[in-house]
A and B are shown apart, each in its own frame.
Chain A
């Protein structure tokens, strides 16, 4: 379906990534946001608070991030398209109810404008150190989708994509911005509403007795209903069967948990969004995401001037990880260079998938600022040797 024009601020704007993310959410049809103020993400909630009264949205500032994430799941079962937004410490607090949303298969978007950690860390400065938390932050086995934008324009475009993916796979999508992208002001072009494709939620409309809120046969994702439609659903965070009823044994656990993992991993190729440039014949491939992918461009440009064959692989969806693509490339290249604003997270995945067939070099940065392209260039030069 096409976007509802009421929420689409068509035109050229000069705004930061946080505001662009808010506009993307409203354009995507998000009409519920529960959040709690935290730097550097607050501007997303502020813009939504200002815009929602004019588009028929429901904004609430909750008492903390635990409540925000719980309210998002509640609102989705009430039928709303919902999101929350936070950063570092708030992201940690959301992990509990992110697990609930995962178990209840709640389509929603969780925006994390990353800052330096751990703990209070660097509230106003950038980081990319929550990438593993985006995957493993809540307890138990599960898989989610994570998206990393690298510009305000992408904060708009990819927020819509995040909602679309969440509805399609009935899964929380982590929108992993960072302080640089969040506060960077650039031109953002918002198209006409009829140019914006929206994935609607699939609602069940059949026989009430036959409705099953979950589907664990590996053949698809169960459609949803909303509370108040007379289906008398029961939805729990406990291990459950397809009716949603708790079943506390190992067989039920196997079915339920494998479904949560398989629906993402087995469809990685359908979910995957990556950008590649000059990969064929490359000796070194720079794998990057978020703001670092823009800094890496400079290093690649300098390396190419020196005659080095460098390819670029930019992860827009970081999770699920494009495992098969890295495996495919590993025997063909000498090295992967992975710059990231942390002390080594996604490089571990690259290294694992490369299976020793190519060298993996981390270019780390503890956070606070982006890389110096010279450091990435140095790693590229060493990679060709």
Chain B
């Protein structure tokens, strides 16, 4: 890293040692891994902040919360959190998280990943985890493109939007993720933008406390690729856009909340219901069928 005069600046972020200067998220971040890889005014860090605040608000024992990410810019989220955190393969965060949640049923497992990871390469895992009502909270940071690899079109790129593999504009229909989640069986579905940070953290807190498959989509700016290629300005300009274009409608029918190019974004909490989880169903069902002979898995016995 160097400044405009060519002087070399330190790569290390100096963290104030004073006891009075305590960051509210101290201890939740792996500060030794900073600087992080995200661009200036990227929305992912904001969502990470929202997650930490939401986790703090939930009152959950952080030792019993694990985070799994896939691959991509958002996939790096797990690596900066001081929790049990796993950085899996592209698209496989949800099945990895499924194994983790079943291997240690005491855990609340959270998946934080991007739109390409969750809805394209991991799309099949997403719908099946929702169908099973696996006890997972999935936070999908949607920046409308594959940013890590240079701004290619993805499953959520709006029609008309430009991307490096859609150089004349995108002509595919994008996914409407809340609709996909709801129709696959998710018990909690919300969409926010990274501008609505309090709502993001409240929503995450609610979702964390709900057993079952909860899904939160957060629309976030990608200033370096999506915004630049489409001449939408900086991350700040996109925040202004979110401010003007996001409409909160908790009662919206998820079928009607597609996102068009630079069009209105319907946000809110669309689904909040209760349904037994995969493990609750499994254990209750087998208990009923097999009676006392059924032995519930509560973690591996290593004794």
Residues in chain A within 8 A of chain B (CB atoms): 4, 6, 29, 31-32, 34, 52-58, 60, 62-64, 66-68, 70-82, 96-97, 99-100, 200-201, 203, 226-238, 245-246
Contacts and interface: CB of A to CB of B under 8 A. Distances in A.
Contacts of A68: 95
Most buried by B among A77, A231, A233: A77
B92 interface: yes
A54 B290 contact: yes
B23 interface: no
A226 B3 CA distance: 43
B295 interface: yes
B27 to A, nearest CB: 10
Interface of B: 30, 32-33, 63-64, 66, 68, 78-79, 82-89, 91-92, 94-104, 106-107, 124-125, 128, 286, 290, 293-302
B104 A63 contact: no
A231 B84 CA distance: 7
B79 A63 contact: no
Contact of B297 (A31, A76, A232): A31
Given A53-B295, A67-B92, A70-B99, A234 B128 contact: no
Contact of B103 (A53, A67, A78, A235): A78
A163 B192 CA distance: 46
A34 B99 CA distance: 8
Sorted nearest first, the 8 A-B pairs with minimum C-beta distance are A78-B103, A74-B99, A71-B99, A75-B103, A78-B104, A67-B95, A236-B87, A74-B100
Given A53-B294, A63-B128, A78-B102, A31 B92 contact: no
Nearest to B286: A53
Contacts of B103: 32, 58, 74-80, 82, 226
Contact of B92 (A77, A97, A245): A97
A226 B299 CA distance: 11
Most buried by B among A52, A63, A238: A63
A70 B300 CA distance: 18
A74 B129 CA distance: 14
A110 B82 CA distance: 31
B21 to A, nearest CB: 23
A230 B102 CA distance: 18
B106 A228 contact: yes
A100 B295 contact: no
A100 B88 contact: yes
Most buried by B among A53, A60, A231, A235: A53
Nearest to B89: A100
22 contacts: A63-B95, A63-B124, A67-B98, A70-B96, A71-B95, A71-B99, A71-B102, A73-B96, A73-B99, A74-B99, A75-B103, A79-B299, A80-B103, A80-B300, A97-B89, A226-B103, A227-B86, A227-B100, A228-B66, A232-B83, A235-B87, A246-B87
B295 A55 contact: yes
B297 A58 contact: yes
Given A231-B84, A233-B84, A78 B107 contact: yes
B125 A232 contact: no
B104 A79 contact: yes
Contacts of A70: 88-89, 92, 95-96, 99
A96 B85 CA distance: 20
A57 B297 contact: yes
Given A53-B294, A53-B295, A228-B106, A245 B33 contact: yes
Contacts of B296: 56
A70 B95 CA distance: 6
B102 A60 contact: yes
Contacts of B293: 53-54
Given A230-B63, A238-B87, A78 B101 contact: yes
Most buried by B among A6, A60, A71, A235: A71
A74 B33 contact: no
B89 to A, nearest CB: 5
B262 to A, nearest CB: 35
B79 to A, nearest CB: 6
A56 B105 CA distance: 13
Given A67-B125, A74-B96, 12 more contacts: A67-B94, A70-B89, A70-B95, A74-B86, A74-B95, A74-B98, A76-B99, A79-B104, A228-B64, A232-B82, A233-B85, A245-B32
A25 to B, nearest CB: 13
A64 B293 CA distance: 30
A200 B303 CA distance: 9
A5 to B, nearest CB: 12
B100 to A, nearest CB: 4
Contacts of A238: 87
Contacts of B104: 78-80, 226-228
B87 A56 contact: no
Given A100-B89, A200-B302, A58 B102 contact: yes
A56 B301 contact: yes
